[in-house]
């Protein structure tokens, strides 16, 4: 068995956890409150763990190494000096960042407390950056694990079977579905479900991260033309809003389920449909093609050109 697959099946204990109940607190109270002149639904719940305080200043943390990079943010493995605990620190460059979007992301992280949602500790400003301190899941993202596995197997062209085993895929999906059920019950849409936003610990805990693109069900943001999500994971109802300036409509929590379905395909094949295509073409194919499946995704016409293009 390849080393990265061992990360998932043995060290990750995912196969064993597939038989366990991973659902979080079932009691959730949903209320609507006014913030910054806009109406937003917020999740209120009884916390299932006692949350202790984390310090909120630069001097309290030490950056150890970079574990992830994005267009406007860098994620570090860090240490809280006062607590002597390892953590993840997301350093966001505020120069080109939508501050309203950032505030919404922080509110969502603060509110959501579930075993399958990334654990938020604190956040604070450091110069022109925002530091967001969260739990570190030491195996990294599912995408990182898959990339290591693909490399160990000799590259994608060397794949002769499904990338991940069915028990591992089922367990990951079960835990992410539990997290999605929690936020959907609270009327929150994640908006960017994908393998790089799924984090895994060595104990087999799977958590959904990155709530930057998230929107509340009651928010008018559901009809906006510019979604910060990733094109190849977008549901058709979001893709059409992106492509047609005259199109009106809104999407629902079902868009997250579509994205999770694409993620499931990716866990088998190694990559999502249209992953190597420009966003505009991907959005067009999502609208005009039938939903991808294991059968259609393996065909050259579907994968390379789009079935009806």
* Residues known to be catalytic: 192
Rounded CA separation 95/128 (Å): 7
Rounded Cα gap, residues 211 and 107, in angstroms: 9
d(C-alpha 99, C-alpha 79), whole Å: 26
Strand-pair partners of 38: 35
**What's the angle, vertex CA 208, arms to CA 59 and CA 30, rounded to 5?**
95
Contact yes or no for 66/78 (Cβ under 8 A): no
E-strand ranges in 36-117 read 38-45, 61-69, 73-80, 85-93
Query: Which tokens in the block code for residue 78?
Result: 């860090």
Residues ≥6 apart with Cβ < 8 Å to 146: 4, 163, 164, 195, 266, 267, 270
């Amino acid at each position: 068995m390849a080393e990265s697959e061992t990360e998932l099946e043995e060290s990750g204990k995912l196969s064993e956890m597939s038989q366990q109940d991973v659902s979080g607190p079932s009691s959730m109270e949903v209320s609507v409150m006014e913030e910054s002149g806009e109406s937003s639904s917020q999740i209120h719940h009884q916390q299932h763990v006692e949350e202790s305080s984390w310090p909120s200043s630069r001097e309290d943390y030490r950056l150890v190494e970079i574990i992830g990079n994005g267009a406007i943010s860098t994620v570090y493995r860090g240490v809280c000096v006062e607590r002597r605990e390892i953590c993840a620190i997301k350093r966001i460059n505020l120069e080109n960042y939508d501050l309203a979007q950032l505030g919404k992301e922080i509110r969502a992280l603060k509110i959501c407390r579930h075993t399958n949602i990334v654990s938020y500790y604190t956040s604070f400003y450091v110069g022109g950056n925002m530091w967001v301190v969260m739990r570190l899941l030491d195996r990294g993202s599912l995408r990182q694990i898959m990339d290591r596995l693909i490399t160990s197997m000799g590259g994608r062209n060397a794949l002769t079977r499904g990338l991940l085993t069915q028990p591992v895929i089922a367990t990951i999906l079960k835990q992410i579905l539990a997290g999605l059920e929690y936020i959907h019950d609270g009327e929150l849409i994640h908006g960017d479900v994908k393998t790089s936003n799924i984090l895994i610990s060595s104990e087999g805990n799977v958590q959904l991260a990155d709530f930057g693109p998230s929107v509340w069900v009651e928010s008018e943001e559901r009809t906006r033309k510019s979604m910060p999500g990733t094109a190849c994971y977008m549901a058709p109802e979001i893709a059409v809003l992106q492509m047609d300036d005259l199109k009106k409509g809104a999407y629902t929590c079902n868009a997250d389920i579509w994205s999770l379905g694409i993620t499931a395909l990716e866990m088998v094949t190694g990559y999502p449909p249209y992953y190597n295509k420009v966003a505009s073409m991907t959005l067009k194919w999502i609208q005009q093609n039938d939903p991808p499946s294991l059968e259609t995704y393996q065909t050259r016409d579907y994968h390379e050109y789009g079935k009806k293009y």
